[in-house]
Structures are given as structure tokens and as C-alpha cells.
Chain A
Amino acid sequence: MLDSLLALPNHLFETPIAAIALTLLAFFAGNQVFQWMGRPSWCPGILIAALIVVLTLVLLSVNYEVYQQGAAWLVLLLGPATVALGIPLYQQMHHIRALWKPILFTLPPAAILAAVYSVLLAWLAGATPEVMASLAPKSVTAPIAISITEQLGGSIPVLMGGLLITGVMATFWVSVLVKILNIQDHRVIGFALGINGHAIGTVRAFELSPTAGAFSSLGMGLTAVFTALFLPIAWRLVF
């Protein structure tokens, strides 16, 4: 009886249903815990949800690869979800038209430098090519960063860790540097949060003001599009 009870988790994970259910469950539970904690910017809700999955897998002694194969059925939706990001992009178009000049002078250099700084520093510190490919799109919003790192030959788990830390660090550095540089324009602050801190920075920007939030979404979207186009092409030329 006990033996068959212990073998039950692995039986249930033979079809993708258990992995999908666990992912949904952890998503809702993680969100709830995140609300209880008062929505801290240093600990994104997605990290709590992931920890719930990790704990469940370890407690039930289910292999991580088995979970990943099952969850792949859900992750398949990332393709159409990425296409769906075209809708907010289209809705931002009037901002882009109104401010095309500062955007043109700021966004491409900022997005290129964000990738160059991280790859260069990682290379100087002795990172392998795989790690450099995983860290290069670290300022890009996750669904698009995943497709970029696949093009470059990086590791998705390493990228995901890098994305979370980058989002938290970008939020921290923006709050410090804005005081030092005495910047009060919420359009500039929002844009910097979105370009460098993707979705995590954008959440912070919406807490500051709707203007900062709108510009953060814009910065995040344009950085994603620009980096998705430039990085794989640059990578092909350099490596």
C-alpha cells in the first residue's frame, strides 16, 4: 500500500496533465503569497511560483526533466502569446510617433550597450560562450528573450535566472541613480525602467505614475523588438 502510494506521483506525471496542473496551481498560489507579502519589488511573484514547483517536485521526488516535458505542452502557448504582444505595441504607436526623435537617439544605443556591457563583462570574468549567449538578452522581456537565447545557443534556465536578477537590479539602480543625477521627468525614469528592467521594471514604473508606466511599457516593447532583430544578426557576425 505504502509502496504504491509513494509511486503515485511518478505515475501521475506520466501524462502532461499533472505538470500542467502543478504549473497552474503554483501560479495562483505564488500570486497569493506575493499579495500577502505586499508586492515586494525585490521578489517577483514568478519567483515564488517557481519555488513552489521546485519544492513540490523535490517533496514528491519527481524528476525535473519529467516536469519540464509535461509543462512543455503549456509553454507551447508562448508562441501565440508573443504574437499577441503586437497588440500593445500597436496601441503604443501614438507615443512612438510623438517622440520618435529621442527614441531613435536613445533606444538603439541603450539596447545595444545593455547587451554589450553584459557580454563583455561576462567574457572578462571568464564566462563560457553558452553563458554569454544566455546573458546577452538579459534586459529583454522574457517571452522574446527566450526566443533570442534559443537563436544564440544559450541556456533558458540560466537566462531566466539572469532576467530575474536584472529586473530587480535595474529597479534598484534606477532608484539610486535618479537621485544622484537629479532626474524628475517620469517619462525618462519610466523609459529607463522598461529598457533595462523589462516587466519587473515596468511593474515598478506603474507604481510611480501612469506616465512612467506607459513609457516603461514602451521602452520594454521597443527594446524587445530592437534586440530581437539586432542581437542574432550581430551574434552571427561576431561568433
Chain B
Amino acid sequence: MHVIKGFLILLLFLLSGDALVTLLNLPISAGVAGMLLITLWFMLRGRMQEDVALASQPLIAVLAMLIMPGVVGVFFVAGRYADQWLAFVAALVVGTFLSVLTTLILMSRFTPKEPTKDEDRSC
């Protein structure tokens, strides 16, 4: 019963998210809005609801399965995009190289030194 109750709460936040983005004409998706609303709700209450955590665990555990049908599509539509292969290589290989480089440089510049209790000899 607790799982179903938690699932109902997730659905209610999804619907609230949908209502919010529709009424305010926001470009973000209903799911993302619902996620932010539920996080905000927990922050205001100062704790999580046990029911929601129970319903969330199995859903998060099967996330990979829920996105898998989308991956199946890749193999059926790939031929249609074959003429743009250079764009894919540029964006995915070179683009990812550049963004990894940027993140590492920014992050090592702004992160304070680790507290001395766990020294970096674990590397």
C-alpha cells in the first residue's frame, strides 16, 4: 500500500508540474518541473516522505529499461542520418573532449583543497 501511495504522490507532483508549465507557458518539461517541485517540497518540510522513497527506488532502478526502447530506435533510423556523420563525430568526439577539458580546468581551479583528514594518497 505504501508503494502505491508513494506512486500517487509522484503522479500528483507530475500533474502539478504539468499544470505549472502549461499555465506559465514554460519551455521545461512536466517531469522536470515535477522533480523540482518535489525537491522544494522536501526542503520546506525538512525531510522526505517514506512512502515516496519506497515508490521511487524501484522506478529509479528500472530507469535504464524505460529509456531502452528509445535506444532501439537508433538502429532503425541511423541510415536516414548517414550523410551527417561528420557532424556526429565533431559534436560527440571533439565536443566531448572540449567540454571534459573545460570542466576539469574550471573545477580544479575553484575547488578548495581537500581537508587533510583524507589525503589524496588513495589515488
Contacts and interface: CB of A to CB of B under 8 A. Distances in A.
A17 interface: no
A106 B84 contact: no
Given A67-B72, A82-B31, A157 B106 contact: no
Interface in A107-151: 109-110, 113-114, 117-119, 121-128, 131, 135, 138-139, 142-144, 146-148, 150-151
A233 B70 contact: no
16 contacts: A50-B74, A53-B72, A54-B75, A68-B72, A68-B73, A79-B34, A82-B32, A83-B14, A84-B10, A142-B63, A156-B73, A160-B73, A165-B92, A185-B108, A188-B104, A192-B107
B68 interface: yes
A233 B21 CA distance: 13
Interface in A90-117: 90-91, 93, 99, 101-102, 105-106, 109-110, 113-114, 117
Most A-side CB within 10 Å, residue of B39, B84, B89: B39
Contacts of A105: 106, 110
B77 interface: yes
A71 to B, nearest CB: 4
A157 B77 contact: yes
Interface string B99-114: 1111111111011101
A77 B108 contact: no
Contacts of A191: 103, 107
Interface string B45-62: 000100011011001101
A225 B92 contact: no
A89 interface: yes
Contact of B42 (A86, A169, A186): A86
Contact of A158 (B34, B64, B77, B95): B77
Interface residues of B, number: 77
Interface of B: 7, 10-11, 13-14, 17, 27-32, 34-39, 42-43, 48, 52-53, 55-56, 59-60, 62-78, 81, 84, 86-108, 110-112, 114, 118, 120, 122-123
Contacts of A196: 96, 99-100, 103
What secondary structure prevails in chain A residues at the interface with B?
A: helix
Nearest to A63: B76
A146 B104 CA distance: 26
A214 interface: no
A121 B87 contact: yes
Given A54-B75, A148-B29, A122 B91 contact: yes
Given A84-B60, A147-B31, A192-B104, A125 B90 contact: yes
Interface in A146-179: 146-148, 150-151, 155-162, 164-166, 169-170, 173-174, 177-178
B100 A177 contact: yes
A102 B107 contact: yes
Contacts of B64: 27, 45-46, 49, 199
